[in-house]
Amino acid sequence: MSIAASPTAIWSASTCSLRLRVSWDTSPSPILTNPNVNRPPKLVRIPKSSPVKQTKTQINPHLRKEDLPASVLWNSDRTNGGGELNKKWFPIPPKVNKPRSIYNAVSLAYLGDCIYELYARRHFLFPPLSIDVYNERVMSIVRCEAQDLLLKKLLVENYLTEEERDILRWGKNIGSNKTRTRKRAGVAVYSRASSLETLIGFLYLTNTNRLENLMYKLGFSMGTNTTKIPVENSG
């Protein structure tokens, strides 16, 4: 014998079920109702930084060649007009506004002798040579006789400024204990060579672009050692 459920019982059961579902579904989150509950940290997406590209300094194509240092001109020719700006290859000089008020001519000649020989050694560096040939070629143009001839070239071509000529006169009168060298070359030749070294030391401290141009004028370069310096085969 089956017992049929009354409509009232069915409605009551459905209402209870509905109430339970509604109460469960609409139960607020404890995070929203309780401010003391720690919220989970938000994930922050950090964008990847693009790598910094190192760009090469390019020569301004609108500049005239005569307005650029000699080292830049050589580098531009070497790269067929690609024109990567040449960086200074020698040690950065100290900042000295008036070297003559601080140093005497002997000190500047001592410094200039080193700078001059550095140019000479660099000039013959490429292509590679045996150490004997390399040393022979370098020594041929660091001798005071060769320096004297190079200085005469600058004077004959009227390349030097009045200030630079004054530096030469100042450096001409310095003394030295290199007795053997002075006897071999003569006092006049040795004095003129010393004055050139004084000028090179002075320009190294005051105007490296002018120094580069001056040495380039004398034939020194960063090219191959087939580039001839007028006195490299002298005596």
Catalytic pick from 77, 113, 148, 166? 113
Which range among 41-45, 149-153, 214-218 shows the weakest confidence by mean pLDDT? 41-45
- Ordered structural domains, the chain, with CATH: 57-87 (no CATH), 92-217 (1.10.1520.10)
Q: Which residues contact 68 (CB under 8 A, 6 or more apart)?
A: 59, 76
Greater model confidence, 74 or 208: 208
Distance CA 44, CA 200 (A): 61
Reply yes or no on whether the pLDDT at 96 is more than 70.
yes
Asked if residue 204 lies in contact with residue 196, where contact means CB atoms within 8 angstroms, the answer is: no
Ranges 57-61, 64-68, 77-81, 88-92, most confident:
88-92
pLDDT at 89: 74
pLDDT at 94: 86
Average pLDDT of the residues in 63-68: 48
Which range among 16-30, 165-179, 198-212 shows the weakest confidence by mean pLDDT? 16-30
pLDDT at 32: 55
pTM of structure? 0.61
Kindly report, residue by residue over 159-187, the tens digit of the pLDDT.
999 999 999 999 987 766 666 676 677 88
Ranges 2-11, 59-68, 111-120, 221-230, most confident:
111-120
Reply yes or no on whether the pLDDT at 56 is more than 80.
no
Q: How high is the mean pLDDT of the chain?
A: 74
pLDDT at 81: 37
What would the two tokens of residue 28 be?
A: 């607020």
Reply yes or no on whether the pLDDT at 84 is more than 90.
no
pLDDT at 66: 47
Reply yes or no on whether the pLDDT at 79 is more than 60.
no
Which range among 36-40, 61-65, 131-135, 206-210 shows the weakest confidence by mean pLDDT? 61-65
* Known active-site residue 67: no
Q: Which residues contact 157 (CB under 8 A, 6 or more apart)?
A: 217
Asked if residue 156 lies in contact with residue 88, where contact means CB atoms within 8 angstroms, the answer is: no
Tokens 């560096």, residue? 125
* Percentage with pLDDT > 90 across the chain: 41
What would the two tokens of residue 193 be?
A: 């060579």
